[in-house]
Structure 1
Amino acid sequence: MTDTATTTTTSLNKFEKFKAEKDGLAIKQDIEKFASLGWEAMDETDRDHRLKWVGVFFRPVTPGKFMMRMRVPNGILTSNQMRVLAEVVQRYGDDGSADITTRQNIQLRGIRIEDLPDIFNRFHAVGLTTIQSGMDNIRNITGDPVAGLDADELFDTRELVQQIQDMITNKGEGNPEFTNLPRKFNIAITGGRDNSVHAEINDLAFVPAFKEGTGDWGLGTGEEVSPSPKFGFNVLVGGFFSAKRCEAAIPLNAWVAPEDVVAVSRAIVEVFRDNGFRANRQKSRLMWLIDEWGLEKFRAEVEKCLGKSLLPAAPKDEIDWEKRDHIGVYKQKQPGLNYVGLHIPVGRLYAGDMFEISRLAGVYGSGEVRLTVEQNVIIPNIPDSRLAIFLTEPLLERFAINPGLLTRSLVSCTGAQFCNFALIETKNRALATIKALEAELTLTHPVRIHWTGCPNSCGQPQVADIGLMGTKTRKNGKTVEAVDIYMGGKVGKEAQLGTCVTKAVPCEDLQSVLRDLLIQNFGAKLSQEVLMTH
Structure 2
Amino acid sequence: MARLAAAVCLSCASAMVYHNPTAVQSRRTGTSFLPDSTLERAEAGNKIEQGKLKKDPTNAWTDLYDFAAKIRAGTLDYSEIEDFDINSRLKWTGILSRFRRTPGRFMMRLRIPNGIVKADTLRLFADTIEPYGDELGVMDITTRQNIQLRGLTLEDGADLTKALHADHNMTSFQSALDNARNVVGSPLAGLDDLELVDTRPIANAINDLISLDKETGERGNPQWGNLPRKFNIAISGGRDDFAHTYINDIGLDPVPHQDGRIGFNVVVGGYMSIKRVAESVPLGLWVPADPYSVTALCEAILRIFRDEGNRKDRQKARLMWLVEDMGVEEYSKAIKAEVESYGRGVVLEEAQPHETGAFERRELLGVHAQADEGLRRVGVHVPAGRLSVEEARHVADLADRYSEGEVRLTVEQNFILPNVPADSIDALLQEPALTMGRLAVDPGNVKGPMVSCTGAQFCPLAIIETKTVAERVMAKVDALVEAPKPVRVHWTGCPNSCGQVQAADIGLMGAPAKRKNDEGKMKAVAGANIFLGGTIGEGGHLALDPHMKNVPIDDEDEIAGVIAGLMKENFGAVDRVEVPKEVAMSR
**Do the structures match in fold with TM over 0.5?**
yes
Counterparts of 1:494-509 in structure 2, within 5 Å, are 494-499=539-544, 500-507=546-553, 508=555, 509=558
Among candidates 360, 373, 378, match of residue 411 of structure 2: 373
Aligned pairs for 1:411-422 within 5 A: 411-422=451-462
After TM superposition, list the pairs within 5 Å mapping 1:243-254 onto structure 2: 243-254=274-285
User: Please, what is the CA RMSD of the aligned residues?
Assistant: 2.0
The offset of 1:240, in angstroms, is: 0.5
**Native 8 Å contact 1:207 1:318 kept in 2:** no
Question: In 2, are the aligned partners of 1:346 and 1:410 still within 8 Å (CA)?
Answer: yes
Quickly say closer, same or farther: Cα 1:27–1:519, change in 2 above 3 A.
Answer: same
Partner of 1:224: none
Cα distance in 2 for residues equivalent to 1:9 and 1:255: 33
Corresponding residue number in structure 1 for 2:17: none
Number of the residue aligned with 2:91: 52
For 1:147, the aligned partner's letter is A
How far off its partner does 1:5 sit?
A: 7.1
Matches within 5 A, 1:92-491: 92-94=132-134, 95-124=136-165, 125-170=167-212, 173-213=219-259, 229-259=260-290, 260-307=293-340, 310-316=348-354, 321-397=359-435, 398-476=438-516, 477-491=522-536
Say whether residues 1:30 and 2:63 are aligned partners: yes
8 Å contact from structure 1 (residues 193, 320) kept in 2? no
Looking at structure 2, the residues matched to 502 and 4 of structure 1 have their Cα atoms a distance apart, in angstroms, of 46
* Aligned-pair CA distance for 1:22: 2.4
Give the match's secondary structure for 1:450. strand
Are positions 1:513 and 2:559 aligned together?
A: no
Q: What is the DSSP-based 3-state SS (H/G/I as helix, E as strand, rest coil) of the residue aligned with 1:208?
A: strand
> In 2 relative to 1, CA 209–363 (structure 1 residues): closer, same or farther, beyond 3 Å?
same
- String of CA shifts for 1:437-464, please: whole Å, max 9, x gaps: 1111122221110000000010000110
Residue 110 of structure 1 aligns to which amino acid in structure 2?
G
Structure 2: distance between partners of 1:111 and 1:323: 38
Unaligned runs of 5+ in 2: 1-33, 342-346, 517-521, 580-587
Q: Percent identity?
A: 44
Counterparts of 2:548 and 2:67 in 1: how far apart (Å)? 46
Contact 1:207–1:317 (Cα < 8 Å) also in 2: no
Distance 1:262 1:519 in 2: 46
The one-letter code matched in structure 2 to 1:475 is R
Shift of the alpha carbon at 1:318? 7.5
Q: Measure how far apart 1:304 and its partner are.
A: 2.2
Q: What is the letter of the counterpart of residue 95 of structure 2?
A: V
**C-alpha distance in 2, partners of 1:193/1:384?**
26
- Residue of structure 1 in register with 2:10 after alignment: none
Tell me the equivalent position of 2:5: none
Where do residues 3-14 of structure 1 align in structure 2 (5 Å cutoff)?
Answer: 7-8=40-41, 11-14=44-47
Answer yes or no: is the 8 Å Cα contact 2:95–2:157 preserved in 1: no
The 3 A distance-change label for structure 1 pair 238 and 523 is same
Contact 1:6 / 1:12 at 8 angstroms: preserved in 2?
Answer: no
Deviations 1:309-328 (A, max 9, x none): 63110022579633334111
Deviation at 1:488, TM superposition (A): 1.6
List gaps (5 residues or longer) in structure 1.
214-228
* 2:48 maps to 1:15: yes
Contact persistence 1:194–1:320 (CA under 8 A): no
1:40 equivalent in structure 2: 79
Give the letter aligned to residue 265 of structure 1: C
CA distance in 2, matches of 1:356, 1:511: 30
Rounded to whole Å, the distance in 2 between the matches of 1:116 and 1:411 is 27
Q: Would the aligned equivalents of 1:6 and 1:278 in 2 still touch at CA under 8 Å? A: no
Structure 1 residue 6 displacement after superposition: 8.4
State the alpha-carbon separation in 2 of the partners of residues 143 and 134 from structure 1: 19
Change (3 A) 1:10 1:117: closer
Residue type at the aligned position of 1:271: I
Query: Residue in 1 aligned with 2:16?
Result: none
CA contact (8 A) 1:208 1:317 kept: no
Compared CA separation, residues 420 and 5, structure 1 to 2 (3 A)? same
Q: 1:232 to 1:320 in 2, by over 3 A?
A: farther
Q: Which amino acid aligns with 1:315?
A: P
Question: Does the C-alpha gap of structure 1 residues 411 and 4 become closer, same or farther in structure 2, counting only changes over 3 Å?
Answer: farther
AA aligned to 1:406 is: V
Distance 2:406 2:267 in 1: 30
Aligned length: 516
Counterpart secondary structure, 2:219 = coil
Contact 1:97/1:350, CA 8 A, preserved across alignment: yes
Counterpart AA for 1:423: I
Distance between the aligned counterparts of 1:250 and 1:90, measured in 2? Answer: 44
- SS of the residue aligned with 2:547? strand
Distance 1:319 1:42, change over 3 A: farther
Deviation for aligned residue 1:207 = 0.6
Shift in alpha-carbon separation, 1:157–1:418, aligned structure 2, 3 A: same
| Mean CA deviation greater in 359-368 or 48-57 | 359-368
TM-score, normalised with respect to structure 2: 0.85
Q: Hey, what's the Cα distance between the residues in 1 that align with 2:246 and 2:364? A: 20
- Structure 1 residues 38, 390: CA separation in 2 closer, same or farther (over 3 Å shift)? farther
Could you tell me which residue of structure 2 aligns to residue 71 of structure 1?
A: 111
Residue identity in the other structure for 1:43: E
